[in-house]
Amino acid sequence: MATYAIPEVVSPAPVAANEALLVANGDLRQSANEVCWAAQAGLEEMLTAAFREEGVALRRAHAYNPDLKHGFIYNQRMGMNVFEHIHPEAPLVVAEAVWQYSSHLLAGLESHRGPILTVANWSGQWPGLVGMLNLNGCLRKAGVKFSTLWSKDFKDDFARRGLRQWIREKTIRHDTSHVHDFSPGRVAEPERKLGAALAAQLRSKKALLGVFDEGCMGMFNAIVEDSLMNPAGIYKERVSQSALYAAMRDVTAEDAGRIRAWLDAKGMKFSTGPNEATDLTDAQILDQCRMYIAALRIADEFGCDAVGIQYQQGLKDIAPASDLVEGLLNNVDRPPAYSKDGRELYAGRPLPHFNEVDECAGVDALVTNRVWTAMGFDPATTLHDVRWGEHYRGDGIDEFVWLFQISGAVPASHLVGGYAGAVSERQPPMYFRLGGGTLKGLSKPGEVVWSRVFVEDGRLNVDLGRATAISLPEEETRRRWKEVTPQWPIMHALLHGVTQNQFMARHPANHVNVAYAPTAADADRALAAKATMFHEMGLKVSLCGVESPR
């Protein structure tokens, strides 16, 4: 008789009654995990106390590592190993006070059969809210059932009710009454015709998204499968970050210097210093100018309509940050750049860039660019992280004011003062070892259309809504900036018809796309045309906070 090596399969023990397990997911970068651990430990202490008061013991499913000085799951293999020893029906809490790579957990969560609760602390510090929203988006794309909750200290009534409901019912029901199905028949004829014509044009004259290495920072939700976007007329041109770096080496110092000189002439400020490890240096800026020209040359070579640069991971170890480049690409008024044979590239128009190669944001940016251009509006658009926010009372305001923020990549036309109101500061060494400058500024007051394309139920979806970017007193703006990443640009935003908790419960990603319109009426019309175009492209369209786009 043959003898085979039969493998032993781990059989985790069930958890005790009135017990739940906790996992803490982190960054791939050791520097970030070590620095951010104190915030995570504080969250876990608050959360453990809140569960204890409800009669449940919250127990960590993996230990603190004294050698690494943190207790995070720090890569996908570790996540798989941790979940191998978690009973598949155990009540499971994913607690996040930091930015995290969702790919570390996805394998375990996809096969987990017990109730799952994602939790974040209401803080802009590192930020756990952004990490949790990304994980939520990944789980929704993967079809994994879960509940979600957020709180500053888990002592408030909202958080306690949520915990109690999850413990007793294994689910949390949030209010999402602000979400309405889009009805194209309610759109005025001009916007309906425009949206339909633009969608038909896209199917006929197809578009290319230049993707510089997809899958940034474990964001499974940011990858759109070809089969979902191709029927709408959008295709991917997969290019490599190594090709981008090689193209940077072909850009002369003189050509790169002309980009810097153009920005200087526009009044943009650069906060520079002598230390490469901690300061923004002229050499870093010059390399970013090389990357700007290289990206345009590659996009031109392949005929791309928009591009996305991953940067993390890959380029971070060989080049300064791409954020300044991204902000320039997204603006109509930007430094002229030329091909090797002397042609100006994408003259007089932006080359939409989707930060962190978020392909959902890329689809959105492409649509925004076409709708806004056809309507005669500034087509500059960007994504932001849904970073944090607080209620503000004063100066005629008594509302929850969101702080949207992204890692340095905004078009200058979105900022107070444009280029002259912007400053480039060094990216935090914790995330960006080789530095590079941001395009930092305060988003100008104005009328905004916000949106998010996402994958759920095997198809493309989009949520759209209206917002107003506002000014807050200078002292309050400074205070809020200190609560987040001070080197990065911000927007103070009021969402129309959507409360803080409704938005958090519904939003399917860490990112939100924004674009300005000249007036409130223009923004309403732009939303109507954009929603119609998405509908005609085959997306499931939902309106948030507004029942009709007009």
Structure tokens at 16: 């005790």
* Cβ neighbours of residue 20 closer than 8 Å, sequence gap 6 or more: 51, 56, 57, 58, 59, 90, 91, 92, 93, 167
- What pLDDT, in 10s, does the model give residues 187-223? 999 999 999 999 999 999 999 999 999 999 999 999 9
Say yes or no: do domains 19-169 and 184-544 share a fold.
no
Measured over the CA atoms of residue 93, residue 96, residue 102 and residue 103, the dihedral's sign is negative
- What pLDDT, in 10s, does the model give residues 363-403? 999 999 999 999 999 999 999 999 999 999 999 999 999 99
Distances 517 to 377, 421, 492, 525 between C-alpha atoms, Å: 7, 20, 16, 9
- Find out whether 419 and 260 touch, Cβ atoms under 8 Å: no
- Find out whether 56 and 9 touch, Cβ atoms under 8 Å: no
Q: Which helix (H) or strand (E) holds 471?
A: none
Structure tokens at 406: 């992204």
The ranges assigned to domains in the chain are: 19-169, 184-544
pLDDT band for position 409 (cuts 50, 70, 90): confident
Structure tokens at 537: 């492209």
Q: DSSP string covering 256-317, please?
A: HHHHHHHHHHTT-EE-B-S-TTTSB-HHHHHHHHHHHHHHHHHHHHHT-SEEEE--TTTGGG
Q: DSSP string covering 227-241, please?
A: HHHGGGTEEEEEE-H
Structure tokens at 18: 């009135």
Looking at CATH, the fold of the domain delimited by 184-544 is given as L-fucose Isomerase; Chain A, domain 3 (3.20.14)
Residue in the structure block whose two tokens are 């889009």: 182
Distances 349 to 13, 333, 488 between C-alpha atoms, Å: 60, 7, 24
Q: Which helix (H) or strand (E) holds 449?
A: strand 446-456
Name the β-bridge partners of 423. Answer: 269, 440
pLDDT of residue 550: 64
Nearest CA-CA partner of 362 in 296, 275, 463, 454: 454
Distances 420 to 36, 227, 424, 535 between C-alpha atoms, Å: 34, 43, 11, 39
DSSP state of 465: E
CATH number of 19-169: 3.40.50.10940
- What pLDDT, in 10s, does the model give residues 116-145? 999 999 999 999 999 999 999 999 999 999
Instruction: Tell me: pLDDT of 314 over 90.
Output: no
d(CA 368, CA 203): 16
pLDDT of residue 520: 98
d(CA 203, CA 205): 6
Q: What is the mean pLDDT of residues 531-550?
A: 92
d(CA 476, CA 502): 25
- Rg (C-alpha) for the chain, rounded Å, is 23
Considering the chain, what is the average pLDDT of its residues?
A: 97
Name the β-bridge partners of 188. Answer: none
Nearest CA-CA partner of 310 in 351, 365, 362, 259: 362
- What pLDDT, in 10s, does the model give residues 332-359? 999 999 999 999 999 999 999 999 999 9
d(CA 429, CA 436): 10
Name the β-bridge partners of 450. Answer: 465, 514
Query: What number of other Cβ atoms are within 10 A of residue 199's Cβ?
Result: 22
- What pLDDT, in 10s, does the model give residues 18-41? 999 999 999 999 999 999 999 999
DSSP state of 393: E
Three-state DSSP state, 188: coil
pTM above 0.85, yes or no: yes
